[in-house]
Amino acid sequence: MRVLRVKHQRYITAFLSSTIILLLLCFQNSLLVFNYGSYGFLSESSPCACHICVADRGNSNWFSERYDPNVPILLNSNNSVLSANVSRWWKELQSNAGNYTKVMDQLFSLFPDEEHYSDTGPDRCRTCAVVGNSGNLLGSNYGPLIDFHDFIIRMNKGQTEGYEKDVGSKTTHRIVYPESAMDLDNSTHLVLLPFKILDIQWLISAFTTRHITQTYVQVPSTIKANKDKVMILHPEFIRYVYDNWAERHGRYPSTGFLTLIFALHICDEVNVFGFGATSDGIWHHYFDKTLTSYEIGVHAGKFENETLNRLQQENKILIHMGWT
């Protein structure tokens, strides 16, 4: 009887142990599925080697409805012919549209005419910092974190000298238009944001004849930059951001918003710095105290800000708000 009792107890122990192990395995699998949906754990079909892949459209219907991986991002001779809808919309943004075809011929004889950032794949993990110009960067000590990224994308006249501790010292890409242009070092890509044909004409002039000194304000006749690292955002990309992401709010998207969506297309992981107000609700640049507001002007700042927050909710970007 004692032998039978011992065997019975062993059977019960073995059964309970097996049940516990099975439950733990089920729980673990459920946890992994939860983590993949919430935090971007890699799957077999992951489009990149990062933990969170921006281009993964399978984990967000909201993102998938807006993100078009086939939109042309940068101009080159193979994609420079504009559709009628894009051409009409883009020309409506400008008061004096020049000869687009002639300008394109000049452009690609001077600057690199090639595809960029077509190396996406499951083995790549390109981390990017999109650095805005908000005063919330002051006192943040984000400098080392920003500089740690593969790409550091800045915009307009956001300077680094004197602010390295908070904004970093490196820049791989700077998004500008003629009215916001500044000199760059030889390693930085100048990415022109053309709101009008005159912007592209200015770019050509700045590296050749230097005869364009006025748009709607005075602009520099030349700029220090590496000619072989010049890029031009495609007008169709600007229209795509306006249609899909700004949902046609405002007249056209802001530079910061266009820069962010640009990053979603060339990066695998996107961290955002220097967007929004300070903790006390003040909107100003970290480098000059000039007050700004997202609620006035031609841009739909409030809607863009809501979209920015939604991108974070969908685990597509991570917003670093600063310390002030």
Q: Which residues are annotated as a binding site for substrate?
A: 94, 133, 156, 216, 252, 256, 276, 285, 299
Three-state SS at 230: strand
Which are the contacts of 227, defined by CB distance < 8 A and separation ≥ 6? 110, 111, 207
DSSP state string for 143-201: HHHHHTSSEEEEETT---TT-HHHH-S--SEEEE-GGG-----TTSEEEE--SSHHHHH
Contact in structure between 267 and 128 (CB atoms under 8 Å): yes
In degrees and rounded to multiples of 5, residue 74 shows phi and psi of -120, 145
Residue with tokens 């899909």: 244
HSE (CB half, 13 Å, CA atoms) of 119? Answer: 8
3-state secondary structure of 204: helix
User: H/E/C letters for each residue in 78-145?
Assistant: CCCCCCHHHHHHHHHCCCCCCCHHHHHHHHHHHCCCCCCCCCCCCCCCCEEEEECCEHHHCCCCCHHH
Specify binding-site residues: 94, 133, 156, 216, 252, 256, 276, 285, 299
Q: Which of helix, strand or coil describes residue 58?
A: helix
Question: What residues are labeled active site?
Answer: 252, 299
Distance of CA 86 to the CA centre of its chain: 22
Cα(125)–Cα(196) distance, rounded to whole angstroms?
34
